Amino acid sequence: MTQITTIDKIGEFVGQMVTLRGWLYNKRSSGKVRFLLIRDGTGIIQSVVVKNEVTPESFSATDILTLESSLEVRGKVRADARAPGGHELQVSDLRIIQVAEEYPISPKEHGPSFLLDHRHLWLRSSRQHAILRIRSHLIQEAQSYLNREGFILFDAPILTPTSCEGTSTLFETDYFYDEKAYLSQSGQLYAEAGAMAFGKVYTLGPTFRAEKSKTRRHLTEFWMLEPEVAFAELKDILSLAEELITHLVHSVLTHRREELKVLDRDLTKLQSVVQPFPRITYEEALDILRQKGISHQWGDDFGAAEDTVISEQFDRPVMITHYPLQTKAFYMKSDPLRPELALCVDVLAPEGYGELIGGSQREDDYDKLLERLAQHKLPRESFEWYLDLRRYGSVPHSGFGLGIERTIGWICGIKHLREAIPFPRLLQRIYP
């Protein structure tokens, strides 16, 4: 019996016999030698099959193997500096598990729609593999960071009776007796209840927006990390946002550098992400736009074009605060010094990768919140529980939502968010 191992651990077995299980990534032959590139999900290794060192069955199996066929190989691990990954397997046994049909994805260029139709297979290619490994790392790192900072994970429901971010992008379901229910746009309102119970919480999960826009930066289903903190003002969550983002970027730079290389990411752009981040107000952002010859009406929210122009002025994420209250969600607290402004923040990624974070201090005053609900024409009955949070021990509190795919898109340097999630849901895509 030889040890079954994986390619990422192969370095521990130099000079020993091991068994690997995986899929054929590529092959080439030269006389009586076959070079098989095998991938097993943890890496890729070149495996060398020499005719007179294996049984005739094992050798002829190499001719039957098609791309992505599944197989098991046994062999001796050799260190080889020239080999990709630094090791090679000298095969002594090869067993086919399944011979794959002709694989639809080849190194030639495929259009995005073909690749998306084959997303379940496209995931195996090295670029997608790199992005999704970074995704996994980033989500874990974000959680461990918040856990270390004293937050607890607080899961919010996905089926909700109300909207959080305005009613225009709600997904309606028809199941609950006598009542409409919607897929959650954000876990925030529930996180606020969590913050009043535990002090510091975060939610992490999928959220849904029935956006009619077809842009590179919008998914219909995307993941959001939402910290919420009791006894925190806007300035406190600005610091949290800055620290979290810096931590994530540097953790990916340290632990997922190989993946960033596969993606050809310009590392200097990520290395310059250090604290402090520039902080400007909405009105200062208007000045920047004006200097660039773009006129923008006070009171209107920024769109992707404005965000890009502003973010291009900085080499790290920029935090824009104090937007006009009229453009923002009902729960945001207005600035006591200038009530027409919201105590809120949008964090824009550099290089035009869009908004990473939206957050705010929350309206903690019962009467003001009632007023805001009315202004937004939201049904008070559905928000009674939320109003309770202002009836029973209300305190200043703040939080934000970090878009997981936006953050991945920026760190990986990918143009379209559809590559930042295993199975993207878009305006015109629900398959596979």
| Contact positions vs ligand NSS (CB under 6 A) | 164-165, 186, 188, 209, 211, 218-219, 222, 224, 226, 355-359, 399-401, 403, 405-406, 417
Cβ atoms 257, 137 nearer than 8 A: no
Residue whose CB is less far from ligand NSS, 62 or 394:
394
Nearest distance from residue 13's CB to ligand NSS, in Å?
A: 42
Pairing of strands 44-50, 70-79: unpaired
Nearest distance from residue 110's CB to ligand NSS, in Å?
A: 24
- Maximum alpha-carbon separation in the chain: 85
Residue whose CB is less far from ligand NSS, 39 or 322:
322
Nearest distance from residue 209's CB to ligand NSS, in Å?
A: 5
Residue whose CB is less far from ligand NSS, 59 or 386:
386
The torsion angles phi and psi of 139, rounded to 5 degrees, stand at -65, -40
Residue whose CB is less far from ligand NSS, 18 or 195:
195
Residue type, 426: L
Residue whose CB is less far from ligand NSS, 38 or 404:
404
Nearest distance from residue 426's CB to ligand NSS, in Å?
A: 10
Residue whose CB is less far from ligand NSS, 104 or 166:
166
The two structure tokens encoding residue 330: 């009902």
Nearest distance from residue 114's CB to ligand NSS, in Å?
A: 23
Residue whose CB is less far from ligand NSS, 43 or 358:
358
Nearest distance from residue 242's CB to ligand NSS, in Å?
A: 15
Cβ atoms 131, 46 nearer than 8 A: no
d(CA 74, CA 92): 6
Nearest distance from residue 215's CB to ligand NSS, in Å?
A: 9
The two structure tokens encoding residue 156: 């919010």
> Nearest to residue 359, comparing CAs of 160, 188, 223?
188
Residue whose CB is less far from ligand NSS, 43 or 401:
401
Nearest distance from residue 297's CB to ligand NSS, in Å?
A: 20
Nearest distance from residue 75's CB to ligand NSS, in Å?
A: 45
Residue whose CB is less far from ligand NSS, 78 or 279:
279
d(CA 186, CA 74): 49
